Amino acid sequence: MAFQDLREYLAVLDRTGKLKRIRKEVDKDWEIAAVARSVFQRFAEADRPGLVFEKVKGYDIPVAVGVLGASRQIYAAALETTPGQVLDKWYHAQKNPIAPVSVPRGPCKENIVSGAQVDVLKFPIPVWTAGSDLSPYITAPQVCTRDPETGVRNVGTYRTQVHAKDRLGINCGAIHHLARHVAKNEAQGRPTAVAIVIGTDPAVAITSVTSMAEELDEFAVAGALRGQPVELVRCETCDLEVPATAEIVIEGQMLPGERAPEGPFGEYPGYVSSRSPKFVVHVKCITYRNNPVYQAFLSQMPPSESTIIRGIGHEAPLYQALKDRHLPVKDVHFTVGGSGAGWLFISLKKHRPEQVQEVVAAAWETLKPMGKFTVVFDDDIDIFDPVNTQWAMTFRVQPQRDIKIVPNTPILPHDPSGLALPDTMKPSKVIIDATMKHEFPALALPPQEHLDLVAGRWAEYGF
Ligand code: MN
């Protein structure tokens, strides 16, 4: 059964013990970030709850944080599956999209505010890195635009700074579909209509954060993930469509050629990134549900919600690309410590030694800057287990033979290690072949039959 909206999903998280409702009053300008950060530091991932701050000082709107990505278990719950099935679910959804349907009205139109009445600051938008971020940031926006030539929609999540009550800044790299739509409009001297959606059924929000082919409609992939078409309503001020059950929709326009300084913002590598000219959105209209829920992602230093959602958001297209090339891949994983981008672990059932190089080449072609450190393991290694992976890197690797530095590669977005490279040096990446290249001695473990015997008697040992 697909979730109809964010609030129905939150009720399920609550019932299954994965949600913590915080009733103490909190200040959105420092305390929400500090409490969320402490929860991510204090809880092991498997036990970490999503959070709803019910009482935000000066507001009567609750703030949900971590409800999609406090852990891989919560992410899987949002897609109504298990952590082990997440990538197969993604694979199937991208191959079998379910087109959205238009409906005449939806709860996101319960309140409509336009013109001089527009004020995004009426919503409790937190400050994430107090002392560095100059203003609040919308961290879980689903930014909707349309390709002016093909009509194909894009929904993507880009950091969005609140400049003023009716003006926002969007930080979006040139390769992203949003930037391509703006470029096509600007070439014709036209503005770009934009709808920024906050708080939807989790399949839609998760799709917004995941990279996929430009011709794919994110709402259709979300429909496949939830097993039911997403219902869309038309915006008030443009012909874009947005999920009918969204909590909040901010409609606006980007004027051709306009840029304004955006940043600094505490970014996903755990460092504050710099200020530079970025897109500007002039807000024309805000529609929202009665008693709306404001949703945000915790980003910044790993472990964070963004390291988990974006990590899986990179794993999904990579898993698909490797499968489609018929490479014998078992699992792919972007670790939390690498902020879901830097360390890529791949396990495969190697038939030929060259397959290690083929897998790495395909991975880097699919996700150009990602996998600064890419490690390939045999399929007996659990690449989600830090002990098992370090063990394999220690005892199946001879550095001179098995570690290769590849010069002149794309660099991770916002990676500060590239800031002070000498002029003669370009960014580089590392390949570690941690597969076995010859016969290895027997593993120093009790025989499997003994372990099976013990498993059958487990309760007798008093555990
Ligand atoms: Mn897209």
Residues 6+ apart with CB under 8 A from 90: 210, 225, 316, 319, 320
Ligand 1: distance of its center to the CA of 212 in Å? 6
Question: Quick one: angle between helices 86-95 and 218-226, nearest 10?
Answer: 130
- 216 CA → ligand 1 middle, Å: 6
Q: Tokens 């504050």 sit at which residue?
A: 272
Q: How far is the CA of 27 from the centre of ligand 1 (A)?
A: 35
Averaged over 373-386, what is the pLDDT? 98
Helices 355-366 and 305-324, interaxial angle, to 10°? 120
Q: What is the mean pLDDT of residues 312-319?
A: 95
Dihedral (CA of 241, 242, 248, 254) sign: negative
Tokens of 226: 């939830």
pLDDT digits (tens, 9 = 90+) for 119-170: 999 999 999 999 999 999 999 999 999 999 999 999 999 999 999 999 999 9
Confidence of residue 174 (pLDDT cuts 50, 70, 90): confident
pLDDT tens-digit profile of 246-259?
A: 999 999 999 999 99
What does the block give as tokens for 252? 């606006």
Q: Are 347 and 378 contacting, i.e. CB atoms less than 8 angstroms apart?
A: yes
Summary mean pLDDT of the chain:
97
Which residues, in sequence order, are CB contacts of 324 under 8 Å at separation 6+? none
Beta carbons within 8 Å of 285's beta carbon, 6+ residues apart:
112, 113, 114, 118, 235, 236, 237, 250, 251, 252
Q: Token digits for 40?
A: 């991510």
Q: Is 251 within 8 Å of 234 (Cβ atoms)?
A: no
Mean pLDDT of 222-245: 98
Q: Please give the average per-residue pLDDT across 359-374, as a whole number.
A: 96
Look at residues 6, 108, 117 and name the one whose alpha carbon lies nearest to residue 62.
Answer: 6
CA of 41 to the centre of ligand 1 (A): 33
Q: How far is the CA of 283 from the centre of ligand 1 (A)?
A: 22
Mean pLDDT of 10-38: 98
For 57-158, where are the alpha helices, taking DSSP H only? Answer: 72-78, 86-95
361 Cα: distance to centroid of ligand 1 (angstroms): 23
* pLDDT exceeds 90 at position 397: yes
Q: Please compute, for residue 461, the number of CA atoms within 13 A of its CA located in the half-sphere on the CB side.
A: 7
Is the torsion defined by CA of 329, 387, 70, 131 positive or negative? negative
Tell whether the model's pLDDT for residue 316 goes beyond 90.
Answer: yes
Confidence class of residue 449 from pLDDT cuts 50, 70 and 90?
very high
Structure tokens at 283: 């807000």
Check pLDDT > 90 for residue 212.
no
CA proximity to 155, closest of 106, 75, 100: 100
User: 95 C-alpha to center of ligand 1: Å?
Assistant: 15
User: In 10 A of CB 239, how many CB atoms?
Assistant: 8
Q: 112 — phi, psi (to 5°)?
A: -130, 125
Q: What pLDDT is recorded for position 58?
A: 98
Whole-number Cα distances in Å, 105 to 67, 98, 282, 302: 27, 20, 25, 40
- For residue 264, is the peptide bond before it cis, meaning its omega torsion is within 30 degrees of 0? yes
Write down the pLDDT at residue 412.
96
The pLDDT score that the predictor gives to residue 365 is: 96
CA distances from 436 to 30, 352, 360, 440 (A): 49, 11, 16, 7
Q: Using CA atoms, how far apart are residues 200 and 100, in angstroms rounded to an integer? A: 14
- Cα–ligand 1 centroid distance for 401 (angstroms): 40
pLDDT tens digits for 343-354? 999 999 999 999
Measured in Å, residue 155 CA sits from the centre of ligand 1 at 6
CA 342 – CA 416 distance, rounded (Å): 12
Q: Residue 173's pLDDT is what? A: 86
pLDDT at residue 282 in the model: 98
1 pLDDT more than 80: no
Q: What percent of the chain lies above the pLDDT cut of 90?
A: 98
What's the 403 CA to ligand 1 centre distance in angstroms? 35
Convert the pLDDT of each residue in 417-440 to its tens digit: 999 899 999 999 999 999 999 999
Q: How far is the CA of 44 from the centre of ligand 1 (A)?
A: 33
Residue type, 118: V
| Paired strand residues for 294 | 63
Q: What mean pLDDT is predicted for residues 95-119? A: 97
Q: How far is the CA of 43 from the centre of ligand 1 (A)?
A: 34
* C-alpha of residue 209 to centroid of ligand 1, in Å: 10
Inter-residue contact 145 to 217 (CB < 8 Å): no
User: Per 3-state DSSP, what percentage of the chain is helix, strand, and coil (rounded to 5)?
Assistant: 30, 25, 45
Q: What pLDDT does 457 receive?
A: 97
**pLDDT more than 70, % of the chain:** 100
Task: Quickly tell me which residue has 């937190």 as its tokens.
Answer: 126
DSSP 413: T
pLDDT at 18: 97
Q: How far is the CA of 213 from the centre of ligand 1 (A)?
A: 6
CA of 154 to the centre of ligand 1 (A): 4
Please, which pLDDT band fits residue 381 given cuts at 50, 70 and 90? very high
For residue 211, is pLDDT > 90? no
Distance 69 CA to ligand 1 centre (A): 21
CA torsion angle 192 282 222 72 (round to 10):
130
E strands along 41-187, which residues?
50-53, 63-65, 101-102, 111-114, 137-138, 142-146, 153-156, 160-164, 167-170
Give 396-444 as a DSSP string.
S--HHHHEEEEES----TT-GGGTT--TT---EEEEEE-S--S--PPPS
Q: Contact at 8 Å (CB) between 174 and 259?
A: no
Is 303 within 8 Å of 45 (Cβ atoms)?
A: yes
On the CB side of 34, how many CA atoms lie within 13 Å of its CA?
Answer: 8
How much distance in Å is there from the Cα of 152 to the middle of ligand 1? 8
Report the predicted TM-score, pTM, of the whole model to 2 decimal places: 0.96
Rounded Cα distance between 204 and 202, Å, is 5
